[in-house]
Structure 1
Amino acid sequence: MTKIENIEKILKTVEIHERIVRKSTEIDNATKPYFLELSKFTKECLTNESKVSKLNSSQIKSLENELLIYWNETISLETEKFWTEIVTEKLDVQRKEPLKFALDKNRFRNVEQGIGARKYWNEIKTIESVKDKFSITDILKIDQIIAEDENKRIGILKKCLAKRVIPKSQYLKFGECMAYFTNCGLFNKYMTEKEVDELHEIWRNFKS
Protein backbone atom coordinates (compact mmCIF):
# COMPACT_ATOMS: atom_id res chain seq x y z
CA MET A 1 0.00 0.00 0.00
CA THR A 2 1.41 3.39 -0.99
CA LYS A 3 1.61 6.31 1.39
CA ILE A 4 -1.32 8.04 -0.36
CA GLU A 5 -3.44 4.88 -0.26
CA ASN A 6 -2.70 4.41 3.42
CA ILE A 7 -3.68 7.99 4.17
CA GLU A 8 -6.93 7.63 2.21
CA LYS A 9 -7.72 4.47 4.17
CA ILE A 10 -7.21 6.24 7.50
CA LEU A 11 -9.30 9.22 6.40
CA LYS A 12 -12.17 6.88 5.52
CA THR A 13 -11.74 5.27 8.93
CA VAL A 14 -11.96 8.72 10.50
CA GLU A 15 -15.27 9.32 8.70
CA ILE A 16 -16.73 6.13 10.18
CA HIS A 17 -15.31 7.01 13.60
CA GLU A 18 -16.87 10.49 13.53
CA ARG A 19 -20.25 9.31 12.27
CA ILE A 20 -20.64 6.73 15.03
CA VAL A 21 -19.28 8.99 17.78
CA ARG A 22 -21.67 11.84 16.87
CA LYS A 23 -24.70 9.53 17.01
CA SER A 24 -23.45 7.45 19.94
CA THR A 25 -25.70 6.62 22.88
CA GLU A 26 -22.94 4.55 24.51
CA ILE A 27 -20.16 7.15 24.70
CA ASP A 28 -20.83 9.73 27.40
CA ASN A 29 -21.13 13.40 26.43
CA ALA A 30 -18.00 14.32 28.36
CA THR A 31 -15.91 11.92 26.26
CA LYS A 32 -17.36 12.69 22.82
CA PRO A 33 -15.45 16.00 22.40
CA TYR A 34 -12.15 14.18 23.00
CA PHE A 35 -12.94 11.64 20.26
CA LEU A 36 -14.02 14.36 17.85
CA GLU A 37 -10.90 16.40 18.62
CA LEU A 38 -8.83 13.28 17.95
CA SER A 39 -10.42 12.84 14.52
CA LYS A 40 -9.95 16.56 13.77
CA PHE A 41 -6.26 16.29 14.68
CA THR A 42 -5.84 13.14 12.58
CA LYS A 43 -7.48 14.74 9.53
CA GLU A 44 -5.36 17.85 9.89
CA CYS A 45 -2.17 15.79 10.00
CA LEU A 46 -3.19 13.78 6.93
CA THR A 47 -4.62 16.53 4.74
CA ASN A 48 -2.19 19.39 5.35
CA GLU A 49 0.36 19.03 2.55
CA SER A 50 3.25 20.49 4.52
CA LYS A 51 2.58 18.09 7.40
CA VAL A 52 1.96 15.05 5.20
CA SER A 53 5.27 15.51 3.41
CA LYS A 54 7.10 15.20 6.74
CA LEU A 55 5.27 12.07 7.91
CA ASN A 56 6.99 8.70 7.65
CA SER A 57 5.20 5.34 7.67
CA SER A 58 5.70 4.85 11.43
CA GLN A 59 4.15 8.22 12.22
CA ILE A 60 1.18 7.50 9.97
CA LYS A 61 0.73 4.13 11.69
CA SER A 62 0.81 5.87 15.07
CA LEU A 63 -2.02 8.17 13.98
CA GLU A 64 -4.05 5.15 12.90
CA ASN A 65 -3.35 3.25 16.13
CA GLU A 66 -4.37 6.21 18.28
CA LEU A 67 -7.66 6.49 16.40
CA LEU A 68 -8.35 2.77 16.86
CA ILE A 69 -7.58 2.43 20.59
CA TYR A 70 -11.21 2.79 21.68
CA TRP A 71 -12.58 0.53 18.94
CA ASN A 72 -9.95 -2.13 19.67
CA GLU A 73 -10.41 -2.13 23.44
CA THR A 74 -14.18 -1.94 23.91
CA ILE A 75 -17.03 -4.45 23.79
CA SER A 76 -20.26 -2.80 22.65
CA LEU A 77 -22.89 -2.68 19.93
CA GLU A 78 -21.37 0.50 18.51
CA THR A 79 -17.94 -1.12 18.41
CA GLU A 80 -19.40 -3.93 16.31
CA LYS A 81 -21.08 -1.32 14.09
CA PHE A 82 -17.73 0.43 13.60
CA TRP A 83 -15.98 -2.77 12.51
CA THR A 84 -18.90 -3.83 10.33
CA GLU A 85 -18.59 -0.56 8.44
CA ILE A 86 -14.82 -1.03 8.15
CA VAL A 87 -15.43 -4.44 6.54
CA THR A 88 -18.21 -3.09 4.31
CA GLU A 89 -15.88 -0.36 3.04
CA LYS A 90 -13.18 -3.02 2.48
CA LEU A 91 -10.65 -1.06 4.51
CA ASP A 92 -7.49 -2.93 5.40
CA VAL A 93 -7.62 -2.17 9.13
CA GLN A 94 -6.52 -4.80 11.64
CA ARG A 95 -8.78 -5.45 14.61
CA LYS A 96 -7.79 -6.57 18.09
CA GLU A 97 -10.69 -8.40 19.69
CA PRO A 98 -11.26 -8.39 23.47
CA LEU A 99 -13.72 -11.27 23.13
CA LYS A 100 -11.05 -13.48 21.57
CA PHE A 101 -8.70 -12.55 24.42
CA ALA A 102 -11.45 -13.57 26.87
CA LEU A 103 -11.91 -16.91 25.13
CA ASP A 104 -8.18 -17.57 25.24
CA LYS A 105 -7.64 -16.48 28.87
CA ASN A 106 -11.07 -17.29 30.37
CA ARG A 107 -11.33 -13.72 31.64
CA PHE A 108 -11.65 -10.15 30.45
CA ARG A 109 -8.55 -7.99 30.21
CA ASN A 110 -10.04 -5.30 32.48
CA VAL A 111 -13.24 -4.28 34.24
CA GLU A 112 -14.29 -1.95 31.41
CA GLN A 113 -14.40 -4.89 28.99
CA GLY A 114 -16.26 -6.95 31.58
CA ILE A 115 -18.84 -4.18 31.89
CA GLY A 116 -19.21 -3.94 28.12
CA ALA A 117 -19.69 -7.69 27.78
CA ARG A 118 -22.25 -7.82 30.61
CA LYS A 119 -24.25 -4.93 29.12
CA TYR A 120 -24.14 -5.77 25.42
CA TRP A 121 -23.20 -9.41 24.80
CA ASN A 122 -26.79 -10.72 24.63
CA GLU A 123 -27.41 -8.37 21.69
CA ILE A 124 -23.95 -8.63 20.17
CA LYS A 125 -24.18 -12.41 19.87
CA THR A 126 -27.26 -12.09 17.63
CA ILE A 127 -25.35 -10.06 15.00
CA GLU A 128 -24.72 -12.13 11.87
CA SER A 129 -21.07 -11.13 11.53
CA VAL A 130 -20.47 -12.18 15.15
CA LYS A 131 -22.27 -15.51 14.64
CA ASP A 132 -20.11 -16.08 11.57
CA LYS A 133 -16.95 -15.36 13.55
CA PHE A 134 -17.67 -17.30 16.74
CA SER A 135 -18.81 -20.92 16.97
CA ILE A 136 -21.75 -21.97 19.13
CA THR A 137 -19.21 -23.37 21.59
CA ASP A 138 -17.39 -20.01 21.67
CA ILE A 139 -20.65 -18.13 22.27
CA LEU A 140 -21.62 -20.43 25.13
CA LYS A 141 -18.13 -20.07 26.62
CA ILE A 142 -18.38 -16.27 26.53
CA ASP A 143 -21.78 -16.57 28.26
CA GLN A 144 -20.05 -18.60 30.96
CA ILE A 145 -17.10 -16.18 31.32
CA ILE A 146 -19.55 -13.28 31.80
CA ALA A 147 -21.55 -15.22 34.39
CA GLU A 148 -18.40 -16.21 36.30
CA ASP A 149 -17.13 -12.62 36.21
CA GLU A 150 -20.40 -11.40 37.71
CA ASN A 151 -20.41 -14.13 40.37
CA LYS A 152 -16.83 -13.39 41.44
CA ARG A 153 -17.59 -9.70 41.76
CA ILE A 154 -20.74 -10.12 43.83
CA GLY A 155 -18.81 -12.57 46.00
CA ILE A 156 -16.20 -9.90 46.78
CA LEU A 157 -18.86 -7.29 47.59
CA LYS A 158 -20.87 -9.61 49.83
CA LYS A 159 -17.77 -10.72 51.71
CA CYS A 160 -16.81 -7.09 52.39
CA LEU A 161 -20.39 -6.33 53.42
CA ALA A 162 -20.49 -9.27 55.82
CA LYS A 163 -17.21 -8.24 57.48
CA ARG A 164 -17.99 -4.51 57.14
CA VAL A 165 -14.44 -3.90 56.00
CA ILE A 166 -12.46 -3.80 52.76
CA PRO A 167 -9.12 -5.64 53.04
CA LYS A 168 -6.28 -3.42 51.83
CA SER A 169 -5.33 -6.06 49.27
CA GLN A 170 -8.88 -5.96 47.85
CA TYR A 171 -9.43 -2.19 47.71
CA LEU A 172 -8.84 -1.74 43.98
CA LYS A 173 -10.82 -4.87 43.18
CA PHE A 174 -13.65 -3.61 45.41
CA GLY A 175 -13.75 -0.33 43.47
CA GLU A 176 -13.88 -2.23 40.19
CA CYS A 177 -16.74 -4.38 41.48
CA MET A 178 -18.69 -1.28 42.54
CA ALA A 179 -18.16 0.24 39.09
CA TYR A 180 -19.23 -3.02 37.45
CA PHE A 181 -22.47 -3.32 39.42
CA THR A 182 -23.28 0.39 39.06
CA ASN A 183 -22.73 0.50 35.30
CA CYS A 184 -24.55 -2.79 34.68
CA GLY A 185 -27.45 -1.91 36.98
CA LEU A 186 -27.06 -5.14 38.94
CA PHE A 187 -27.36 -4.08 42.58
CA ASN A 188 -31.12 -4.68 42.64
CA LYS A 189 -30.53 -8.24 41.49
CA TYR A 190 -28.49 -9.15 44.58
CA MET A 191 -28.94 -6.54 47.32
CA THR A 192 -31.39 -4.33 49.11
CA GLU A 193 -31.06 -0.57 48.94
CA LYS A 194 -29.90 -0.61 52.56
CA GLU A 195 -27.11 -3.07 51.79
CA VAL A 196 -25.93 -0.90 48.86
CA ASP A 197 -25.86 2.14 51.16
CA GLU A 198 -23.81 0.12 53.66
CA LEU A 199 -21.33 -0.80 50.93
CA HIS A 200 -20.85 2.86 50.04
CA GLU A 201 -20.37 3.68 53.73
CA ILE A 202 -17.71 0.97 54.07
CA TRP A 203 -16.02 2.39 50.97
CA ARG A 204 -16.08 5.95 52.30
CA ASN A 205 -14.66 4.86 55.65
CA PHE A 206 -11.81 2.83 54.19
CA LYS A 207 -8.48 3.70 55.75
CA SER A 208 -5.34 3.01 53.75
Structure 2
Amino acid sequence: MTKIEKIEQILKTVEIHEKIVRKSTEIDNETKPYFLELSKFTKDCLTNESKVSKLNSYQIKSLENELLIYWNETISVETEKFWTEILSKKINIQRKEPLKFALDKKRFRNVEQGIGARKYWSELKTINSVKDNFSKTEIVKIDQIITEDENKRIGILEKCLTKKVIPKSQYLKFGECMAYITNCELFSKYMTEKDVDELHEIWRNFKS
Protein backbone atom coordinates (compact mmCIF):
# COMPACT_ATOMS: atom_id res chain seq x y z
CA MET A 1 0.00 0.00 0.00
CA THR A 2 1.37 3.40 -0.97
CA LYS A 3 1.63 6.32 1.42
CA ILE A 4 -1.26 8.11 -0.32
CA GLU A 5 -3.47 5.00 -0.20
CA LYS A 6 -2.75 4.57 3.51
CA ILE A 7 -3.65 8.19 4.20
CA GLU A 8 -6.90 7.88 2.24
CA GLN A 9 -7.75 4.78 4.25
CA ILE A 10 -7.18 6.56 7.56
CA LEU A 11 -9.26 9.53 6.44
CA LYS A 12 -12.15 7.18 5.64
CA THR A 13 -11.71 5.71 9.11
CA VAL A 14 -11.87 9.20 10.61
CA GLU A 15 -15.23 9.78 8.88
CA ILE A 16 -16.67 6.62 10.43
CA HIS A 17 -15.16 7.52 13.81
CA GLU A 18 -16.71 11.01 13.74
CA LYS A 19 -20.13 9.84 12.63
CA ILE A 20 -20.44 7.28 15.41
CA VAL A 21 -18.98 9.57 18.08
CA ARG A 22 -21.38 12.41 17.24
CA LYS A 23 -24.42 10.12 17.50
CA SER A 24 -23.08 8.07 20.40
CA THR A 25 -25.21 7.29 23.44
CA GLU A 26 -22.40 5.22 24.97
CA ILE A 27 -19.62 7.83 25.03
CA ASP A 28 -20.17 10.46 27.72
CA ASN A 29 -20.43 14.14 26.80
CA GLU A 30 -17.15 14.97 28.52
CA THR A 31 -15.24 12.49 26.37
CA LYS A 32 -16.85 13.29 23.00
CA PRO A 33 -14.96 16.60 22.52
CA TYR A 34 -11.65 14.79 23.02
CA PHE A 35 -12.54 12.23 20.34
CA LEU A 36 -13.68 14.93 17.93
CA GLU A 37 -10.51 16.94 18.59
CA LEU A 38 -8.52 13.78 17.87
CA SER A 39 -10.19 13.41 14.48
CA LYS A 40 -9.65 17.09 13.71
CA PHE A 41 -5.94 16.73 14.55
CA THR A 42 -5.64 13.54 12.48
CA LYS A 43 -7.33 15.12 9.46
CA ASP A 44 -5.13 18.21 9.72
CA CYS A 45 -1.98 16.07 9.77
CA LEU A 46 -3.13 14.04 6.77
CA THR A 47 -4.61 16.76 4.56
CA ASN A 48 -2.15 19.60 5.08
CA GLU A 49 0.31 19.19 2.21
CA SER A 50 3.26 20.66 4.06
CA LYS A 51 2.67 18.28 6.98
CA VAL A 52 1.97 15.23 4.82
CA SER A 53 5.24 15.64 2.95
CA LYS A 54 7.15 15.34 6.23
CA LEU A 55 5.31 12.27 7.52
CA ASN A 56 7.06 8.91 7.42
CA SER A 57 5.33 5.52 7.56
CA TYR A 58 5.90 5.19 11.32
CA GLN A 59 4.24 8.57 12.00
CA ILE A 60 1.28 7.69 9.79
CA LYS A 61 0.87 4.37 11.60
CA SER A 62 1.02 6.21 14.95
CA LEU A 63 -1.83 8.49 13.87
CA GLU A 64 -3.87 5.44 12.90
CA ASN A 65 -3.12 3.65 16.17
CA GLU A 66 -4.12 6.67 18.25
CA LEU A 67 -7.42 6.92 16.41
CA LEU A 68 -8.13 3.22 16.94
CA ILE A 69 -7.29 2.92 20.65
CA TYR A 70 -10.91 3.31 21.81
CA TRP A 71 -12.35 1.05 19.10
CA ASN A 72 -9.76 -1.65 19.77
CA GLU A 73 -10.12 -1.63 23.54
CA THR A 74 -13.88 -1.38 24.10
CA ILE A 75 -16.70 -3.90 24.08
CA SER A 76 -19.95 -2.23 23.03
CA VAL A 77 -22.68 -2.07 20.41
CA GLU A 78 -21.19 1.09 18.90
CA THR A 79 -17.77 -0.54 18.68
CA GLU A 80 -19.33 -3.33 16.60
CA LYS A 81 -20.99 -0.69 14.40
CA PHE A 82 -17.61 0.96 13.87
CA TRP A 83 -15.90 -2.26 12.77
CA THR A 84 -18.87 -3.32 10.65
CA GLU A 85 -18.56 -0.06 8.71
CA ILE A 86 -14.79 -0.49 8.42
CA LEU A 87 -15.43 -3.91 6.89
CA SER A 88 -18.19 -2.68 4.57
CA LYS A 89 -15.92 0.10 3.25
CA LYS A 90 -13.17 -2.52 2.70
CA ILE A 91 -10.71 -0.56 4.82
CA ASN A 92 -7.69 -2.73 5.51
CA ILE A 93 -7.20 -2.23 9.26
CA GLN A 94 -6.37 -5.01 11.69
CA ARG A 95 -8.75 -5.20 14.64
CA LYS A 96 -7.76 -6.18 18.15
CA GLU A 97 -10.63 -8.06 19.79
CA PRO A 98 -11.10 -7.96 23.57
CA LEU A 99 -13.63 -10.79 23.38
CA LYS A 100 -11.05 -13.04 21.69
CA PHE A 101 -8.64 -12.21 24.50
CA ALA A 102 -11.32 -13.07 27.06
CA LEU A 103 -11.96 -16.43 25.42
CA ASP A 104 -8.26 -17.22 25.32
CA LYS A 105 -7.47 -16.12 28.89
CA LYS A 106 -10.91 -16.82 30.43
CA ARG A 107 -10.98 -13.28 31.80
CA PHE A 108 -11.23 -9.68 30.61
CA ARG A 109 -8.07 -7.65 30.15
CA ASN A 110 -9.35 -4.88 32.45
CA VAL A 111 -12.42 -3.75 34.38
CA GLU A 112 -13.56 -1.40 31.59
CA GLN A 113 -13.86 -4.32 29.19
CA GLY A 114 -15.66 -6.34 31.86
CA ILE A 115 -18.14 -3.50 32.30
CA GLY A 116 -18.70 -3.22 28.55
CA ALA A 117 -19.30 -6.94 28.23
CA ARG A 118 -21.73 -7.02 31.17
CA LYS A 119 -23.69 -4.00 29.91
CA TYR A 120 -23.91 -4.85 26.23
CA TRP A 121 -23.45 -8.60 25.75
CA SER A 122 -27.17 -9.45 25.72
CA GLU A 123 -27.56 -7.22 22.66
CA LEU A 124 -24.14 -7.88 21.16
CA LYS A 125 -24.66 -11.63 20.87
CA THR A 126 -27.71 -11.01 18.63
CA ILE A 127 -25.74 -8.82 16.18
CA ASN A 128 -24.69 -10.45 12.91
CA SER A 129 -21.06 -9.33 13.13
CA VAL A 130 -20.71 -11.10 16.49
CA LYS A 131 -22.64 -14.20 15.41
CA ASP A 132 -20.45 -14.41 12.31
CA ASN A 133 -17.26 -13.99 14.33
CA PHE A 134 -17.99 -16.37 17.21
CA SER A 135 -19.35 -19.90 17.28
CA LYS A 136 -22.35 -20.82 19.41
CA THR A 137 -19.99 -22.59 21.80
CA GLU A 138 -17.81 -19.48 22.08
CA ILE A 139 -20.87 -17.29 22.73
CA VAL A 140 -21.87 -19.61 25.59
CA LYS A 141 -18.31 -19.44 26.95
CA ILE A 142 -18.38 -15.62 26.88
CA ASP A 143 -21.68 -15.77 28.79
CA GLN A 144 -19.91 -17.88 31.42
CA ILE A 145 -16.88 -15.56 31.60
CA ILE A 146 -19.17 -12.56 32.16
CA THR A 147 -21.10 -14.39 34.90
CA GLU A 148 -17.88 -15.50 36.61
CA ASP A 149 -16.48 -11.96 36.44
CA GLU A 150 -19.64 -10.57 38.03
CA ASN A 151 -19.72 -13.20 40.76
CA LYS A 152 -16.05 -12.69 41.60
CA ARG A 153 -16.45 -8.91 41.88
CA ILE A 154 -19.56 -9.04 44.05
CA GLY A 155 -17.82 -11.69 46.17
CA ILE A 156 -14.94 -9.31 46.91
CA LEU A 157 -17.35 -6.56 47.97
CA GLU A 158 -19.38 -8.92 50.15
CA LYS A 159 -16.23 -10.12 51.96
CA CYS A 160 -15.20 -6.52 52.66
CA LEU A 161 -18.70 -5.75 53.89
CA THR A 162 -18.67 -8.77 56.22
CA LYS A 163 -15.23 -7.92 57.64
CA LYS A 164 -15.94 -4.16 57.69
CA VAL A 165 -12.52 -3.53 56.18
CA ILE A 166 -10.69 -3.47 52.86
CA PRO A 167 -7.44 -5.48 52.95
CA LYS A 168 -4.55 -3.32 51.73
CA SER A 169 -3.75 -5.87 49.03
CA GLN A 170 -7.35 -5.60 47.74
CA TYR A 171 -7.76 -1.82 47.70
CA LEU A 172 -7.34 -1.33 43.95
CA LYS A 173 -9.45 -4.40 43.21
CA PHE A 174 -12.13 -3.08 45.58
CA GLY A 175 -12.27 0.20 43.63
CA GLU A 176 -12.58 -1.70 40.37
CA CYS A 177 -15.39 -3.81 41.78
CA MET A 178 -17.25 -0.72 42.98
CA ALA A 179 -16.90 0.82 39.50
CA TYR A 180 -18.12 -2.43 37.89
CA ILE A 181 -21.18 -2.88 40.08
CA THR A 182 -22.06 0.84 39.86
CA ASN A 183 -21.71 1.13 36.08
CA CYS A 184 -23.59 -2.11 35.48
CA GLU A 185 -26.31 -1.01 37.94
CA LEU A 186 -26.09 -4.24 39.92
CA PHE A 187 -26.19 -3.04 43.53
CA SER A 188 -29.96 -3.52 43.79
CA LYS A 189 -29.53 -7.11 42.57
CA TYR A 190 -27.21 -8.04 45.42
CA MET A 191 -27.43 -5.51 48.26
CA THR A 192 -29.68 -3.23 50.25
CA GLU A 193 -29.21 0.54 50.30
CA LYS A 194 -27.82 0.17 53.82
CA ASP A 195 -25.18 -2.28 52.55
CA VAL A 196 -24.16 0.11 49.77
CA ASP A 197 -23.88 3.03 52.19
CA GLU A 198 -21.75 0.89 54.49
CA LEU A 199 -19.46 -0.10 51.63
CA HIS A 200 -18.89 3.56 50.77
CA GLU A 201 -18.20 4.28 54.44
CA ILE A 202 -15.64 1.45 54.59
CA TRP A 203 -14.05 2.87 51.43
CA ARG A 204 -13.89 6.40 52.84
CA ASN A 205 -12.30 5.14 56.08
CA PHE A 206 -9.64 3.05 54.37
CA LYS A 207 -6.17 3.73 55.76
CA SER A 208 -3.18 2.95 53.56
What TM-score, normalized by structure 1, do the two folds share?
A: 1.00
Q: Which residue of 2 aligns with 1:44?
A: 44
Identity of aligned residues (%): 86
Residue 173 of structure 2 aligns with which residue? 173
Match in the other structure for 1:142: 142
Partner of 1:98: 98
- Alignment-derived partner of residue 18 in structure 2: 18
Counterpart Cα distance in 2 of 1:115 and 1:98: 12
Alpha-carbon distance, 1:25 to partner: 0.4
> Hey, what does 1:156 align to over in structure 2?
156
1:30-88 per-residue CA deviation (whole Å, 9 max, x = no partner) reads: 00000000000000000000000000011000000000000000000000000000001
Number of aligned positions between the proteins: 208
SS at match of 2:179: helix
Aligned to 2:107: 107
In the alignment, structure 1 residue 54 sits paired with structure 2 residue 39: no
CA RMSD of aligned residues (A): 0.3
Distance 2:60 2:78 in 1: 25
- For 1:84, the equivalent position in structure 2 comes to 84
Cα distance in structure 1, aligned partners of 2:129 and 2:34: 29
Counterpart residue identity of residue 30, structure 1:
E
Letter in 1 for 2:96: K
Tell me the equivalent position of 2:75. 75
What's the offset of the Cα at 1:199? 0.2
For structure 2, the 5+ residue unaligned runs are: none
Runs of 4+ deviating beyond 2 Å: none
2:90 is paired with a residue of what secondary structure?
coil
Q: How does 1:116-127 map to 2 (within 5 A)?
A: 116-127=116-127
Q: Distance in 2 between matches of 1:173 and 1:199?
A: 14
* Alignment-mate amino acid for residue 155 of structure 1: G
Query: Which amino acid is 1:168 matched to?
Result: K
Deviations 1:117-145 (A, max 9, x none): 00001100101111011001100000000
Structure 1 position 27, deviation (Å) = 0.3
2:148 partner SS: helix
| Alpha-carbon displacement from aligned partner over 1:141-185 (angstroms, at most 9, x marks no partner) | 000000000000000000000000000000000000000000000
Structure 1: distance between partners of 2:7 and 2:154: 47
Question: How far apart are the structure 1 equivalents of 2:56 and 2:121?
Answer: 39
Structure 1 unaligned segments of length 5 or more: list them. none
* CA distance, structure 2, for counterparts of residue 186 and residue 81 of structure 1: 26
